[in-house]
Amino acid sequence: MSDTPAKITPVKISPKTKFGIGQLVRHRYFPFRGVIVDVDAEFSNSEEWWQSIPEHIRPAKEQPYYHLLAENEYGPYEAYVSQQNLLLDQDGGPVNHPAIVEVFDGLEGDHYKLKPDYRH
């Protein structure tokens, strides 16, 4: 592995991912928005977490899931959201989450620019 970090902004993880790291997104049904910091090609959380979602709105496991630095009216938090429940955030503007400065160099248009030395 090279010591030179890759410059990726935004990056798609697999051919079936719709969104990339650094993109601004919002939830399709719930009032929150965020920036993508990681992607799982398919569901990678606990069975207990998945079962806690009411069955009538429970998303399929066989799709990408995104880790977000998110915000809502109550403040910042981290979210794990299925691809089917995300939309591009058309409002733009920064996401108010304190961890953003650790991962990104700033907002450039419609996405955050990943720090060159950031690795997860």
Q: How much is the pTM? A: 0.84
Instruction: Name, in order, each residue with C-beta under 8 angstroms of 23's C-beta and a sequence gap of 6 or more.
Output: 10, 35, 36, 88, 110, 111
14 domain residue, yes or no: no
Range of the domain at 50: 24-114
Name the DSSP class of 16. Answer: T
- The domain total for the chain is 1
pLDDT band at 54 (very low <50, low <70, confident <90, very high): confident
What CATH number does the domain containing 106 carry?
2.30.30
48 domain residue, yes or no: yes
Q: Which of 12-21, 34-43, 67-76, 91-100 is predicted least confidently? A: 12-21
The average pLDDT across 35-58 equals 93
- Residue 27 clears pLDDT 50, i.e. is over it: yes
68 forms beta bridges with: 36, 79
Indicate the burial class of 15 (C-beta count within 10 angstroms; 0-12, 13-18, 19 or more).
Answer: exposed
18 domain residue, yes or no: no
6 domain residue, yes or no: no
What phi and psi, each to the nearest 5 degrees, are found at residue 83? -60, -40
| Average pLDDT along the chain | 88
